Amino acid sequence: MIEKIYQEEFAEKVINSPITVVVDFFADWCGPCKMLSPVLEKLSAVNPDVKFYKVNIDENPAISDEFEVQSIPNIVIFKNGQAVDRSIGFKSEQQLQEIIDRNR
């Protein structure tokens, strides 16, 4: 299961990570977010060199604002502490794998 993180640990786990990080900005009430969750779980299992986290936008508005999350689901790829790519809306496993691969 992908770990849900909060604002106070975001810098430690995402910004300071030495490896590529995929962050799923989501909300419990979001239907497409619920559809995307099993896709991300599968991707996290087949990409052991990439870390995956979930951030609930309702519980972490400051992080959501900082990274300009205006629509969900919103997947942000971080590399060397920087947001380097983004995917908005539901995407297939193949589409998300391509985004991950180009940002390793």
CA atoms of 89 and 93, how far apart (whole Å):
13
Nearest to 93 by CA among 48, 25, 35, 26: 35
Phi first, then psi, for residue 29 (nearest 5°) are -85, -5
CATH value at residue 48? 3.40.30.10
Active site residue 97: no
Query: Residues 30, 43, 55, 63: which is the catalytic one?
Result: 30
Active site residue 82: no
- Give the angle 26-33-98 at the CA atoms, nearest 5°: 95
Domain count across the chain: 1
Q: For the segment 1-38, what is each residue's pLDDT rounded down to a tens digit?
A: 899 999 999 999 999 999 999 999 999 999 999 999 99
Q: What is the pLDDT of residue 27?
A: 98
100 lies in some domain: no
Inside any domain, residue 74: yes
Looking at residues 72-84, what average pLDDT do you find?
97
pLDDT digits (tens, 9 = 90+) for 30-65: 999 999 999 999 999 999 999 999 999 999 999 999
What pLDDT is attached to residue 47?
Answer: 98
